[in-house]
Amino acid sequence: MKKWLLCCSILLLLTACEEQPSKTTKATGTTEQIPVELVDVIDGDTIKVKYNGNTETIRYLLLDTPEVRHQTLGKQPGGEEASARHKEIMKTGQVSIEFDVGDRMDDYGRLLAYVYIDGESVQEMLLSEGLGRVAYIYPPNTRYLDEFEEAQEIAKEAKKGIWEVENYATDRGFNQAVFEQNGDCLIKGNINRDGDKIYHVPDSQHYIQTNPEEWFCSEKEAKDAGFRKAGG
């Protein structure tokens, strides 16, 4: 009888000690925002900063913006806009960075971080304005994935920026072919509030956000209609 009770007690103890499945899907880690000195804004999702006495390149976590000067992709529509807006934001206050719990460096030697300006998420700002997409989701570096996807959805529903042209922003990147599929007449002619006639080519800074009054098939056609090139 005593042996039976002892066996039952041991069995109950072992059962109680079994590891229960965790309901937690997010690692927490530190949320410390570390002040850094901004050195340069490279493009829409990359900056250089002074960190721990060294100049480091910071690649934004969970964000991808169109390229400005990629070796193979070249300049993508929306890249100039994202880069220009990014530079505006970074001038407005104190820059700080926050690491997640996973890898802190990518294969190119860049630090991976969340970036803030006066405590406000720069990633979230760019996503909410339709200047980038949520991407490069590699757990456990997913602390703010839900918040970023919500910001992206707001821009997507409003057809802002990269979401204005259907199927341009995809899960795999930016599909420049959609501009070719829309025909050869891709130059946007816009008349501003001062009556100035300005045309925008697909890789120009304000192309995506421009609402055209007219479309042109060539720059010559736009100029013949009295339009001048944006930035010219």
DSSP annotation string for 162-213: GGSSTTSEETTEE-THHHHHT-S--EEEEE-TT--EEEE-TTSTTTTT---S
pLDDT at 134: 98
Average pLDDT over residues 128-147: 97
CB crowding 158-188: b at 16 or more within 10 Å, else e: eebbbbbbeebbeeeebebeebeeeeeebbb
Q: Quick one: pLDDT at residue 6?
A: 46
All structural domains of the chain with their residue ranges: 34-171, 183-229
Known catalytic residues are 59, 67, 110
Please give the residue that has the higher pLDDT: either 133 or 29: 133
Residues 6+ apart with CB under 8 A from 164: 130, 208, 209
pTM: 0.71
51-62 pLDDT, tens per residue?
999 999 999 999
CA distance linking residue 204 with residue 156, whole number of Å? 21
> Does CATH place domain 34-171 in 3.30.930.10?
no
Amino acid 207: pLDDT:
84
Q: How far is CA 227 from CA 51, 56, 179, 213, 230, in A?
A: 47, 43, 21, 11, 9
Label residue 228 left, alpha or beta by phi (over 0 means left) and psi (-120 to 50 means alpha): beta
- As a whole number of angstroms, the distance between CA 5 and CA 21 comes to 29
